[in-house]
Structure 1
Amino acid sequence: MGEHAELLTRHKAVLPSWVGLYYDEPIEIVSGDGRHVVDAEGNRYLDFFAGILTNMLGYQIPEVNEAIKHQIDSGVVHTSTLYLIRKQIELAEQIADLSGIPDAKVFFVNSGTEANEAAMLLTTQKRRSNQLLALRNSYHGRSFGAMSVTGNRGWSASSLTPVTTRYVHAGYRLRSPFKDLPDDEFIAACVADLRDVIQTQTSGDVAAMIAEPIQGVGGFATPPDGFFRAMKEVLDEYGILFVSDEVQTGWGRTGEHFWGIEAHGVVPDAMTFAKGLGNGLAIGGVVAGADLMDSVTAQSITTFGGNPLSTAAAKATLDYVIDNDLQAHAHKTGAMLMDGLRRIAEEIPQVIDVRGKGLMLAFELGAPQTLDPDAGMASKVMEQTKRRGLLVGKGGLHGNVIRMAPPMTLSEDEVEEGLGILAESLADSCAT
Structure 2
Amino acid sequence: MSDVKPLGFDTQQIHAGAHPDPATGARQTPIYQTTAYVFRDADHAAALFNLQEVGYIYSRLTNPTVAVLQERIATLEGGIGGVCCSSGHAAQIMALFPLMQPGLNVVVSTRLYGGTITQFSHTIKRFGWSATFVDFDDEAAVAAAIDENTRAIFCESIANPGGYITDIPAIAKIADAAGIPLIVDNTSATPYLCNPIALGATLVVHSTTKYLTGNGTVTGGCVVDSGNFDWGANDKFPSLSQPEPAYHGLVFKDTFGPMAYTFHGIAIGLRDLGMTMNPQAAHYTLMGTETLSLRMQRHVENALELATWLEKDPRVDYVTYAGLPSSPYYGRIETVCPKGAGGLFTIALKGGYDACLKFVDSLEIFSHVANLGDTRSLVIHSASTTHRQLSLEQQEAAGAAPNVVRLSIGIEDVADLKVDLDQALTKATA
Q: In which range does the TM-score fall when normalised by the shorter chain?
A: 0.5 to 0.7
1:230 deviates by 1.3
Tell me the amino acid that sits aligned with residue 428 of structure 1: K
Does the 8 A contact of 2:188 with 2:342 survive in 1? no
Offset at 1:207? 0.5
Aligned residue runs from structure 1 range 120-269, under 5 A: 120-124=96-100, 130-139=104-113, 141=115, 147-150=118-121, 162-170=128-136, 187=137, 190-198=138-146, 202=147, 204-216=148-160, 219-223=161-165, 227-250=167-190, 252=192, 257-259=193-195, 261=196, 266-269=199-202
Residue 395 (str. 1) matches residue 373 (str. 2): no
CA distance in 2, matches of 1:159, 1:303: 20
Structure 2, gaps ≥5 residues long: 1-25, 37-57, 228-258, 323-340, 368-376, 384-394, 396-400
Matches within 5 A, 1:318-337: 318-322=289-293, 325-337=294-306
Instruction: Tell me, yes or no, if structure 1 residue 425 matches structure 2 residue 424.
Output: yes
8 Å Cα contact 1:77/1:309 also seen in 2: no
| Cα pair distance change 1:427/1:157, threshold 3 Å | farther
Q: CA RMSD in A?
A: 3.4
Q: How far apart are the structure 2 equivalents of 1:364 and 1:378? A: 8
Which residue of structure 2 lines up, in the alignment, with residue 81 of structure 1? 59
Mapped to 1, the partners of 2:163 and 2:62 lie a distance apart of 40
Q: How many angstroms does 1:391 deviate by? A: 5.1
Residues 430, 78 of structure 1: CA spacing in aligned structure 2 closer, same or farther, 3 A cutoff?
A: farther
The residue identity in structure 2 corresponding to 1:400 is N
Q: Where do 1:31-110 residues align within 5 Å? A: 76=33, 80-81=58-59, 85-101=63-79, 104-110=80-86
Report the residue type matching 1:242 in the other structure: L
Alignment TM-score, normalising by the size of structure 1: 0.61
Query: What one-letter code is carried by the residue in structure 1 that aligns with 2:187?
Result: V
Partner SS state of residue 97, structure 2: helix
Deviation of 1:77 after TM superposition, in Å, equals: 6.4
**How many pairs are equivalent?**
302
SS of aligned partner of 2:419: helix
Deviation readout 1:148-188 (Å, 9 max, x if unpaired) = 525xxxxx689766312111114xxxxxxxxxxxxxxxx4x
Task: After TM superposition, give the deviation of residue 107 of structure 1 in Å.
Answer: 1.1
Answer yes or no: is 1:355 the counterpart of 2:321: yes
Q: Is the 8 A contact 2:157 2:184 kept in 1?
A: yes
* AA at the equivalent of 2:85: V
Q: What is the deviation of 1:231?
A: 1.8
TM-score by length of 2: 0.61
Contact 1:112 1:141 in 2 (8 A): no
Give percent identity, aligned residues only.
16
CA distance in 2, matches of 1:303, 1:310: 16
